[in-house]
Structure 1
């Protein structure tokens, strides 16, 4: 599964040429041009795209046109509206299953981002210097992340909102603070502290994501020199 910046005929065609059983899936860009060749169902098409002259100049084995399967989606995490894939058989690879797989991929990537950016505070290296210590540290980080997520799910259930509307940063900070206080208090006070913590986290429920009112556009930098850009009309 590639990010949209890897949508390239040269990369994707040659990726599949190297091994027949190798497949790919990548979100479409806003300016991706294609022609629908066949429709398998609602939001599920076989499309044809043109390889750029520049790509064919670098690799003369590329065809002038190449085909892929386009599956449209509602705008989701990352702003994607659909993706193309080499899995072109709808009977073998149902569109709903592929949509689920790609949405799951975004969830995993968001989890990695939260773990690296907030839990590790963007640290580039682990503290451990030995292999055994590295495994132990990674295990501790993953355990802590899943415990925070489990608590967020419980808070969301009580607040009757989706878990993604609970702020991970605020939940993590409040849980860290409560763990420190719980270590100093008596065991009998822990349930009360947990209930109070959950009520505090509810203050940081994120608003529902609004749909973008206008299409995303590229802002052209001002310059005194003539500019030739594909974004200018």
Structure 2
């Protein structure tokens, strides 16, 4: 269970937050470290806000979707440029209310197809047979 949570957190950080980028954009070791720390800081701030929303709603933080929270926060971050600083608490409250409404379903739906082990790829390519006219 703990390993699954670690793997899920790593996937959220790598795929959702960093947008599945294969490499970091920085050119020097110092700026690479700065970029990594920035991503970790952003991830933990989002998780902290999710924990606060979960506490207010009386649920566990895993009942909230990281992707939904990230998208809401990105949207709010873009809209914050056009509002006055006095309205920030109101926007934060609205964000928390919206996140609290987006709980994950308690029961996941079943698989559409049964789990199977796929055949390994053939060592040699198949010859394409064409229809004779």
Question: How does the TM-score come out when normalised to structure 1?
Answer: 0.46
Aligned to 2:91: 193
- Looking at structure 1, the residues matched to 84 and 41 of structure 2 have their Cα atoms a distance apart, in angstroms, of 24
Aligned CA-pair RMSD = 2.2
Aligned to 2:50: 152
Secondary structure (helix, strand or coil) at the match of 1:204 reads: coil
State which structure, 1 or 2, has the greater radius of gyration over its C-alpha atoms.
1
Matched ranges for 1:61-210 at <5 A: 103-210=1-108
How far 1:186 sits from its partner (Å)? 1.4
Greater strand fraction, Structure 1 or Structure 2: 1
Quickly say closer, same or farther: Cα 1:111–1:217, change in 2 above 3 A: closer
Gaps of 5+ in 2: 120-133
Quickly say closer, same or farther: Cα 1:140–1:217, change in 2 above 3 A: closer
How far 1:217 sits from its partner (Å)? 4.7
- 1:121-174 Cα shifts (integer Å, max 9, x gaps): 111011101111100000000000000000001111111111111011110011
Question: How does the TM-score come out when normalised to structure 2?
Answer: 0.78
- 1:38-93 Cα shifts (integer Å, max 9, x gaps): xxxxxxxxxxxxxxxxxxxxxxxxxxxxxxxxxxxxxxxxxxxxxxxxxxxxxxxx
> Larger RCO: Structure 1 or Structure 2 (Cα < 8 Å, ≥ 6 residues apart)?
2
- Looking at structure 1, the residues matched to 25 and 115 of structure 2 have their Cα atoms a distance apart, in angstroms, of 43
Runs (4+) of structure 1 exceeding 4 A deviation are: 210-213
Greater helix fraction, Structure 1 or Structure 2: 2
User: How many positions carry a matched residue from both structures?
Assistant: 117
Gaps of 5+ in 1: 1-102, 222-233
